[in-house]
Chains A and B, each alone.
Chain A
Amino acid sequence: MIEVKDIHKSFGDTNVLKGITATFKKGKTNLIIGQSGSGKTVFLKCLLGLFSPEEGSIAYDGRDYAKLSGDERRDLRQEMGMVFQGSALFDSMTVEGNVMFPLDMFTKKSKSEKQERVDFVLKRVNLLEARDRFPSQISGGMQKRVAIARAIVMNPKYLFCDEPNSGLDPKTATLIDNLIQEITEEYDITTVINTHDMNSVMEIGEKIIFLKDGLKEWEGTKNEIFKTDNKAVTGFVYSSELFEKVRKMYVEERN
């Protein structure tokens, strides 16, 4: 569980996060949604410890990040996995090399133990056959799966994904979403996902936080988001014409 209390983050004169409080539960896919520029990435980077908020606190299962020593922070970092918006795979390494990397860096496991673990996660994301290829030689959807494999290879307690399905076709996007949700449940991970994809919201929105101008505007589940009267939320949800049409049909049917 991650508890965020009233965090503020600014860059120079621009206040990006203006006091956000939220709780993210274990084994659940938590979604952060909001328009481009609303501060989703900055928020996620605060959760990752890449940015330190000027005010407020973030606690990981009771461990307040600001109060941890350097070593404790490093240990905590190794409990986190991150899937970056652009996958961020290491170009110079094969698929297998990318997934092996954290194990090589941080564990004292034997070669065969590491190999076993890599095989296991590659199998989990269905990529065993691509193991010897380089990131430039596989599709965007496969790159995302490699990024997920790399993020979970160390058995993280916390998984963060920044727009994990941007730039993918709807079918592949759904596949990635479902994969993340399954993994979250299977390994009881606290997962936080940034997205502006309404499909993801409908697929895996067990808990949704809507950010607007650096503030938490709304919070709820995927069932609640279609019923809310909050103008900002409906404006966002129905900004896609398809959804607007679906809503009209739904309203007409009801009448």
Chain B
Amino acid sequence: MGTFRRLLGFLRPYRRLWAVSFVLALLAMGVTVLSPALIGHAIDRIRDGDKGGLTEFAVALALLGIGRMVLTIGRRLVAGRVSLGVEQDLRDRLYGHLQALDLGFFDRWQTGQLMSRATVDLSAVRFFLGYGLVFVVQSLLTVVLAAIAMTIQQPLLALACLVPAPLIVFVGHAYGVRGRPAQQDAQQAVAEVTASAEESISGIRVVKAFAAEDRRQEAFGEAVEHAFQKQLRAVRIDASFQPVVQFLPQISLAIVLLVGGRMVVDDTISLGQFTAFFVYVMMLVQPLRSLGVMLGLGQRATASGARLFQVLDRAPDIVAPEGAALRTLPLATEGAAIGAVEFDDVTLRYPDQDTPALSDVSVSVLAGERVAIVGQTGSGKTALVQLLPRLYDPERGRVLIDGVDVRDLDPTALRHEIAIIDDDPFLFTATVAENIAYAAPGATRAEIEGAARRARAHEFVTELPDGYDTVVGERGLTLSGGQRQRLAIARALLAGPAPGTAERPGDAGQGPRILVLDDATSNVDASTEQEITAGLREVMRGRTTLVIAHRLSTVLLADRVVVLHQGRVADVGTHQDLVERSELYREIVTYGMADQVFLSREDRPTEVQEA
């Protein structure tokens, strides 16, 4: 019941329109209910041979019909607006909420499950709120109005006719109790079907690579079969309740015939009155039939609503602090570099995991410094850098940028201060230019090209069929691996000019103060990497940079190196220091040396040391 009431809450912004639509429906129904009485009178006139009276009533009936038509048109327009409004509100609300949720949430929810909620469940809810509810109200209204009309004309017969009415309430309730859980199960099973489909389609290359089509088909078939069984259960319940609701007016019809017939013979009522009653009850057949169906839709909507609230009720873990605590990062001033980063005794545990991914990590990075993070696969390198833009919050400890705890900042503002290149670059279905300008939508074509040039992407982009306007497929799958990575680099490089180098210092348009490269060139060949590095150097100037890399060439770009091992800091120092004292690091150098692009010391930029 709670769910249903909450769903009704979505109608609140449309209270007025809803009231209008209700009044219009009420009037239309009132008009409709008058018709049988008019027909009854007309019949009586015919019996009396009164042609003039017949014409009068016939004209009245025709006018009534026009009135009803106008009212119905009005109601449809209003109700349609409400329905579409509710639909969009619901969808926006769900989408907005998904945008507010933290990454930890998405780790645990399958895309297909979320999509199923946003499609099938949402449409069930809006269908009911938008159309079904009006029908239910209208049907009930018809019953009530017909009852009133009948009572006015012949109370005794009316009473007899309405004997089955309370049964509606009883049957409706029993239906709700049994139907809703069945519907909820069915919806869940359908969501599993969606999830299964979504995964197989997204992973189609792997499915094909391992000739696993039949296996996936089988798994999908099982999910579908499971959903089918669950749906059947819901169907069975529907099938045993809905016809009963529809059967009720038949009982009334029998009563009219039996009781009313006798009354006509007794002369208690006229034949016209009898006809009117019969028509009244006939008039209820239709509304009650749709009432049965709509009750079913109501069950479904409530079940779906419960599933929507599962998502909507999950509060985001990472939110902007209350206004008072909200702080801003210090702006760049002449001479003082910004972008100092401090990880202060940080422990990170991913949701539902026992072992922490990072334990007691303390690292401080000076403003404008370049620090490389190295370590074995799974040692926590990515985990560490993603604390900066607050993709996750540490369980213990603090992350500070220029002395401000990242939790005291507005997350969006914070994230604009950090340009990050992921170890799994993601591109959107959009043009190359749009993808590069993702973080800076106002960028001009020249700026976009500049960033692409620095990332060594310009050459290949110009060779694409439509150049910068070529649409890359989903996830950028129509590009080669290295091309994808270079676009991701260009995207980060376009984020804006380095702080302090902007025309007017402290300008709102100034770029991020921190650059994070997470294994950004892993799919790029040695020669191209060398070229990209040259472009990167330009961008790193004046920016704090964290580089994660396995290649020695990239590691050597940094002033200092942090070695992570199993989520802990194993060592920190310069290349020279670490070669001498860190076993782990020495291993990297020995293995890496043979085949890495290796920049000589002379080639390395020295501005930062000077600054």
Q: Do A and B come from one complex?
A: no
Chain B positions near chain A (C-beta within 8 angstroms):
none
Chain A positions near chain B (C-beta within 8 angstroms):
none
